[in-house]
Structure 1
């Protein structure tokens, strides 16, 4: 039956108290963040990308998600803020020379360091295993430790040499407070981008509207546009005094005669060779004998 062999029960066996809160293993939590994709929960492999909140993903998993968002996948709440490939950045990581792969200790006769990371900081040499803060630059995607950026202060990337600002530095796998700040910055950036797009669209509409409404000036037979005649009008009116009404009537009659269209054949200053180039010349007209029933009646066929 039990308890008949002189066993003495303890208090916690008889009295039921509140259950202890289960604590998450720190090593397992760090491995889940720094060694596995936040979307597919698979091991990280190149190419590795990140979002504006500093989470790590496999690039192929993100592309599959963007191509088919309706498919059922676990952890989709981690990528709701990713709308397209513009919201992710491919990381330029530095390999750890001491990393031997996942199956480096198959025999079990060596000490296996669970905190050994695949990548390191190219400046200080710290391993990217979760113990140290790491950041990436939004301009070029290079990854450095926070200690390297603080000790070697510069406005040029240590690895590729591209310039950057303090606003371009984003923490990878930061705390909850840091993630909330990154969300606020992301919202501000997207709001500014929307305002810029709306301003550009309005400016394009205002530029296209007057160009569509403005008609082209008519051209007469001689090839001179009406804008030239308008210029002659303004010059003639400015040259004469405004006080005399007779002179104004004379200028009106002269401009009216200038604007009337004249036939090229009636221009005496033009030569016969020049007049013969046009279809209104007498040589271009055909007689009844030259015409036929099956030829189109145009002056270009003889």
Structure 2
């Protein structure tokens, strides 16, 4: 095979050299990160959400994943850290007035700017196309360029006015080093949340146990005898006056045999007749029936 009809083969056709490393087109890579959902690989459309690692998703794609995690989907490892909708934040984005949508070059007879983005920074005006670093705030979800946050240093959001801290700033589609930092901060935040929940549970158990212990101690005090009371009886005997003796005698009488309501002289006869222990509530032998039926046919 080959060399037929006087053809002369070249060296690269006969000798196999090392394979060339395939390079990824930078424009295509930026478009995949900033214009398409990281989970469904569909074009980003409102509402757009971002996770704690700075990846962009369509909200409906994340909801479908959370409802059915068993379904086979590509890029599932990208959303493995998302446990629920609380782990993502809806972004408050600013539209680009120069963006014309899909109809900007329908005929194909004019120049198409591949770097034109749908959204811009509301402070500086930079387009969110991947060439400039962008961040979002976890408190309110507003998106700004990193240049705007560095040049205009405030503790209040430039767009909505909500306060924020440096810990609330998350870089969108950051580098490997930035992803590692965001991963560490996410793990620390979740560990603090777990410890806070455990401390709240322990406090709730303590508050429930304290009233029960107080009830047990209050019930056990009246039943103590003079010998068991120890130093309290000696101290009460040493104090002169009738007030001390009356204080010690009251709990003993209260803890003794309970009086029935019918024996209380201070209660009226009308009040006593409300209870079944009253004589009017008791039946005589003539009023009692001799037989009882358990079937509904006695009537």
Fold in common (TM above 0.5): yes
The unaligned stretches of length 5 or more in structure 2 are: 291-299
- Rate the CA distance shift 1:239–1:141 in 2: closer, same or farther, 3 A: same
Specify the alignment match of 2:33 in structure 1: 33
The unaligned stretches of length 5 or more in structure 1 are: 219-225, 295-302
Shift of 1:273: 7.0
Specify the alignment match of 2:179 in structure 1: 179
The RMSD of aligned alpha carbons is 3.9
Shift of 1:276: 6.7
Residues 117 and 127 of structure 2 are in contact (CA less than 8 Å); yes or no, is this contact kept in structure 1? yes
String of CA shifts for 1:257-302, please: whole Å, max 9, x gaps.
564544566666667777677666667777667x4649xxxxxxxx
Specify the alignment match of 2:163 in structure 1: 163
Residues 236 and 245 of structure 2 are in contact (CA less than 8 Å); yes or no, is this contact kept in structure 1? no
For residues 144 and 63 of structure 1, the distance between their equivalents in structure 2, rounded to whole angstroms, comes to 26
Shift of 1:4: 2.9
TM-score normalised over the length of structure 1:
0.77
Residues 237 and 251 of structure 1 are in contact (CA less than 8 Å); yes or no, is this contact kept in structure 2? no
Specify the alignment match of 1:200 in structure 2: 200
Specify the alignment match of 1:124 in structure 2: 124
Q: Give the secondary structure class of the aligned counterpart of 2:101.
A: coil
1:4 aligned to 3, 6, 12, which one?
6
String of CA shifts for 1:193-220, please: whole Å, max 9, x gaps.
11112222222222223445665899xx
Count of residue pairs the alignment pairs up:
280
Shift of 1:93: 0.7
String of CA shifts for 1:21-70, please: whole Å, max 9, x gaps.
11100000001100111111111111111111101111111111111111
For residues 93 and 99 of structure 2, the distance between their equivalents in structure 1, rounded to whole angstroms, comes to 14
String of CA shifts for 1:137-160, please: whole Å, max 9, x gaps.
011111011111111111101111
- Rate the CA distance shift 1:280–1:48 in 2: closer, same or farther, 3 A: closer
Specify the alignment match of 2:293 in structure 1: none
